[in-house]
């Protein structure tokens, strides 16, 4: 999750956007055989007679900057940022001080919240963008598209410097793995510290070693508690793995409790700027979207992290297990306008090239030296919006271009009438220790593909490998469509490309 500072500045110019309160009706697309007529009211009434095994819901798109999905937390129906780059679920809660000024989003009132006695500080982004959200850890009923889980741990946030409410969001819904959940790590740490003797606890200076999350000045740190500490202090790995089902994030818990037909979510993000249209914005849970078959996608395994790299230890009876931490896949190469870009010299050559697929990131973030080559090829920091530029990621041997309509954003909104665009790229920290990805590929890329996030066997990944499936949705005439949109805006809109912000449907 990298929050979109960059774009929020831009959006201030769109006066009609921030003033319009978002209305958030929920409509569920019906999957064949599974009719899930879910709306705000139905989510709120009692438990469905039978848990649906799969489901699909539309996404709210805030000017292509954040994508929201409606999640029921206790009695509150909250639009949350869909974030494959993190693993925790949090909502802005009342009382909320500085964070919630002029908030148009519902605040979670804590009436049904069961506090755990722990608090948490969640940190997002890299050394350049780091933001935080802090508050209490506790449980409540959480519902998503008609699926409901009791006793789901979440954070009720009372203080944050994130700008989620400016994009009509009441929090973040992380779709990642338990190992990357700060809440799961904290609960485990608190259990270990309860069970460990005083002496051991003191010698460990526990508080300072407990998870710090994705913070850190040099690179992205992963929760390191499990790999850092003496294994003998821990409950058995079987216990640790069993705690995924009780203390883990929402999606892994839905999978482990058998609520889903398949351990999968598929996401396609729509485009609501430049040239309206593109993918249908959709979150499908437990199956691929209608009309898409497994073999239509190219599947690539996730990067696993060994214990030495900060990954979870393997259980004794299955010593070869290597666990993923986040939705990170190998990339073969990156191309710009048909030219292969050299590898970054900022990362150690023995770190294999990978990318995080991150719906919570409004940009494409990569190594600074490689981005400099792109900027040089463009001839500067901006370019004429009518020029079609293609940034392509080669993954699993196939080419996945970013649609030229999503490569840049018009540099200014109303009044300036500029025809200049700024590329949707930004530098990020090189990998060192912690996460090993060089690229964090956000929404501009994810509007150009359908991505299936397949969790596999969460406790024994060797039994069913976690992987990602990709299907490019860029039309062959994307460049012509871009030029037509620019010409049309020249003729009818004073040069301003269209922009819309539909709420969650
Ligand atoms: C990569 O090389 C560095 C030394 O240049 C070493 O410290 C590090 O452990 C190596 N990493 C891997 C994953 O082999
Ligand atoms: C995951 O693998 C373990 C070990 O083989 C097995 O016991 C468990 O049933 C598997 N889980 C699922 C959901 O298939
Ligand atoms: C848009 O209009 C400007 C000035 O009227 C012109 O210079 C530019 O070439 C036009 N762009 C396109 C793509 O038609
Ligand atoms: C931009 O275009 C609009 C609509 O065509 C026009 O009213 C306005 O004066 C233009 N602004 C500038 C700075 O050229």
- For residues 152 and 252, state if they share a domain: yes
> Which burial class, exposed, middle or buried, applies to 140 when counting CB atoms under 10 A from its CB (0-12, 13-18, 19+)?
buried
Check pocket membership of 415 for ligand 4, CB cut-off 6 A.
yes
Q: How far apart are CA 303 and CA 104, in angstroms?
A: 39
CATH code of 382's domain: 2.40.70.10
Residue 294 lies inside a defined structural domain of this protein: no
Is 402 domain-assigned? yes
- Claim to verify: residue 228 and residue 317 sit in the same structural domain: no
Is residue 293 a part of any domain in this protein? Answer: no
- Residue ending a domain, among 225, 259, 293, is 259
- The response to whether residue 131 sits with its C-beta less than 6 Å from ligand 4 reads no
Ligand 1 and 9: CB distance under 6 A: no
Atom 14 (ligand 3): residue with closest C-alpha?
A: 487
DSSP class of residue 499?
Answer: B
| Nearest alpha carbon, ligand 4 atom 3 | 494
What does the pLDDT look like over 331-381, one tens digit per residue?
Answer: 999 999 999 999 999 999 999 999 999 988 888 999 999 999 999 999 999
Identify the H or E element spanning 203. helix 198-204
Handedness of CA 430, 435, 437, 441 (dihedral sign): negative
Same domain flag for 86 and 205: yes
Report yes or no on 308 lying in a domain: yes
In a domain, 111, yes or no: yes
Q: Are residues 233 and 328 in the same domain?
A: no
Task: Kindly list the protein residues whose Cβ atom lies closer than 6 A to any atom of ligand 2.
Answer: 457, 459-460, 463
Give per-residue burial for 279-311: e unless 16+ CB within 10 Å, then b: bebbbbbbbbbeebeeeebbebbbbbbeeebbb
Kindly give the distance from the C-alpha atom of residue 350 to the centroid of ligand 1, in angstroms, as a whole number. 6
Q: Is residue 127 part of a domain?
A: yes
Q: How far is the CA of 457 from the centre of ligand 2 (A)?
A: 6
Bond before 203 cis per omega within 30 degrees: no
| Pair 143, 239 in one domain | yes
Same structural domain for residues 315 and 463?
yes
pLDDT score for 236:
80
Q: Can you tell me which residue has the tokens 């003496």? A: 230
Domain identity same for 148 and 243:
yes
Q: What share of the chain is helix, strand, coil (3-state, %, to 5)?
A: 25, 30, 45
Pocket lining: 493 vs ligand 3, CB cutoff 6 Å? no
3-state secondary structure 206-256: HHHHCCCCCCCCCCCCCCCHHHHCCHHHCCCHHHHHHHHHHHCCHHHHHHH
Ligand nearest to the CA of 412: 4
Indicate the top mutation candidate among 410, 414, 416, 417 to test ligand 4's pocket, ranked by most ligand atoms within 8 A of CB: 417
395 falls within a domain: yes
| Residues 61-73: tens digit of each pLDDT | 555 556 788 899 9
Smallest CA-to-CA distance from 361 within 60, 18, 67, 11 is with 67
pLDDT of residue 46: 30
The reported pLDDT for the residue numbered 366 is 96
Same domain, 243 and 327: no
Residue 412 beta carbon below 6 angstroms from any ligand 4 atom: no
For residue 440, what pLDDT is reported? 93
Residue 437 · residue 365 · CB < 8 Å: no
The rounded distance, in Å, linking the Cα atoms of 148 and 285 is 13
Same domain, 245 and 324: no
In sequence order, the 6+-apart residues with CB closer than 8 A to the CB of 376 are: none
CA 327/CA 267 separation, integer angstroms: 13
Phi, psi (rounded to 5 degrees) for 439? -120, 145
How many A from CA of 396 to the centre of ligand 1? 25
Contact 189, 206 (CB under 8 A): yes
Q: Which residue has the tokens 């929760």?
A: 223
pLDDT for res 116:
95
> Rounded CA gap, 447 and 189, in Å?
38
* Crossing angle (nearest 10°) for helices 182-195 and 237-247: 130
Residue 290 Cβ contacting ligand 1 at under 6 Å:
no
- Is the same domain home to 104 and 252? yes
Q: 484 is in which domain, residue-wise?
A: 301-492
Q: Could you identify the atom of ligand 1 that is nearest to the CA of residue 351?
A: 13
- 343/255 same-domain check: no
Residue 294 Cα to ligand 3 midpoint, Å, equals 44
Cβ-contact 70, 26 below 8 angstroms: yes
Nearest ligand, measured from the Cα of 413: 4
- Specify the pLDDT at position 42: 24
- Answer yes or no: is 88 within a domain: yes
Total number of domains in the chain: 2
Nearest CA to ligand 2 atom 3: 460
Question: Which of ligand 4's atoms lies nearest the C-alpha of 416?
Answer: 13
Tell me: do 185 and 311 sit in the same domain: no
What size, in residues, is the chain?
505
Residue 454 and residue 467: Cα distance in Å, rounded? 5
**Counting atoms of ligand 4 from 1, which one is nearest the CA of 495?**
2
- Contact (CB, 8 A) for 156 and 108: yes
> Using CA of residue 371, residue 374, residue 378, residue 380, what is the dihedral sign?
positive
Residue matched to tokens 């904290």:
186
Q: How far is the CA of 461 from the centre of ligand 2 (A)?
A: 9
Pair type for strands 391-395 and 333-336: antiparallel
- What is the model's pLDDT at position 124? 82
| Pocket lining: 350 vs ligand 1, CB cutoff 6 Å | yes
- Identify which ligand lies nearest to the alpha carbon of 482: 3
Beta bridge partner(s), residue 330? 354
Ligand 1 lined by 306 (C-beta under 6 Å): no
Residues (pLDDT < 70) of the chain are 1-66, 96-103, 127-130, 193, 195-234, 270-280, 412-418, 491-505
């Amino acid at each position: 999750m990298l929050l979109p500072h960059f774009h929020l500045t831009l959006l201030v110019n769109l006066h009609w956007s921030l003033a319009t309160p978002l209305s958030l009706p929920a409509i569920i697309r019906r999957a064949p055989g599974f009719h899930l007529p879910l709306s705000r009211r139905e989510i709120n009434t009692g438990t469905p007679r039978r848990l649906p095994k799969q489901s699909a819901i539309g996404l709210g798109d805030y000017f292509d900057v954040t994508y929201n999905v409606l999640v029921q937390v206790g009695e509150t129906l909250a639009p949350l940022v869909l974030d494959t780059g993190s693993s925790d679920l949090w909502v802005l809660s009342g009382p909320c001080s500085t964070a919630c000024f002029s908030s148009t989003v519902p605040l979670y009132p804590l009436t049904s919240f069961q506090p755990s006695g722990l608090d948490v500080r969640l940190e997002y982004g890299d050394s350049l963008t780091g933001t935080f959200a802090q508050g209490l850890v506790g449980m409540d009923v959480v519902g998503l598209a008609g699926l409901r889980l009791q006793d789901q741990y979440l954070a009720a946030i009372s203080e944050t410097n994130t700008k989620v409410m400016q994009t009509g969001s009441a929090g973040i819904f992380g779709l990642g793995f338990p190992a990357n959940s700060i809440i799961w790590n904290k609960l485990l740490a608190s259990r270990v510290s309860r069970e460990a003797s005083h002496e051991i606890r003191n010698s460990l200076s526990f508080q300072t070693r407990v998870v710090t999350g994705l913070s850190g000045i040099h690179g992205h740190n992963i929760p390191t508690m499990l790999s850092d500490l003496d294994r003998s202090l821990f409950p058995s790995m079987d216990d640790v793995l069993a705690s995924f089902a009780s203390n883990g994030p929402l999606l892994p818990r839905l999978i482990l409790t058998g609520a889903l037909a398949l351990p999968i979510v598929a996401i396609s993000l729509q485009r609501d700027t430049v040239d309206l249209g593109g993918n249908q914005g959709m979150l499908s849970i437990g199956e691929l979207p209608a009309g898409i078959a497994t073999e239509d996608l190219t599947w690539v395994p996730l990067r696993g992290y060994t214990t030495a790299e900060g990954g979870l230890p393997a259980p004794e009876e299955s010593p070869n297990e290597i666990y993923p931490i986040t939705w990170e896949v190998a990339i073969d190469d990156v191309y710009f306008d048909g030219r292969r870009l050299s590898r970054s010299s900022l990362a150690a050559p023995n770190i294999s090239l990978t990318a995080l697929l991150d719906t919570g990131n409004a940009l494409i973030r990569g190594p600074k030296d490689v981005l400099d080559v792109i900027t040089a090829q463009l001839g500067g920091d901006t370019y004429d919006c009518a020029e079609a530029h293609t940034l392509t990621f080669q993954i699993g041997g196939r080419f996945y271009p970013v649609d030229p309509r999503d490569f840049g954003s018009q540099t200014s909104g109303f009044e300036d009438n500029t025809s200049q665009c700024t590329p949707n790229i930004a530098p990020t920290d090189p990998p060192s220790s912690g996460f090993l990805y060089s690229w964090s590929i956000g929404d501009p890329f994810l509007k150009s593909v359908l991505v299936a996030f397949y969790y596999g066997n969460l406790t024994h990944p060797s039994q069913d490998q976690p992987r990602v499936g990709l299907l490019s949705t860029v039309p062959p005439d994307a460049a012509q469509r871009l030029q037509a949109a620019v010409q049309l805006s020249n003729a009818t809109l004073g040069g301003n490309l269209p922009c819309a912000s539909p709420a969650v449907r």
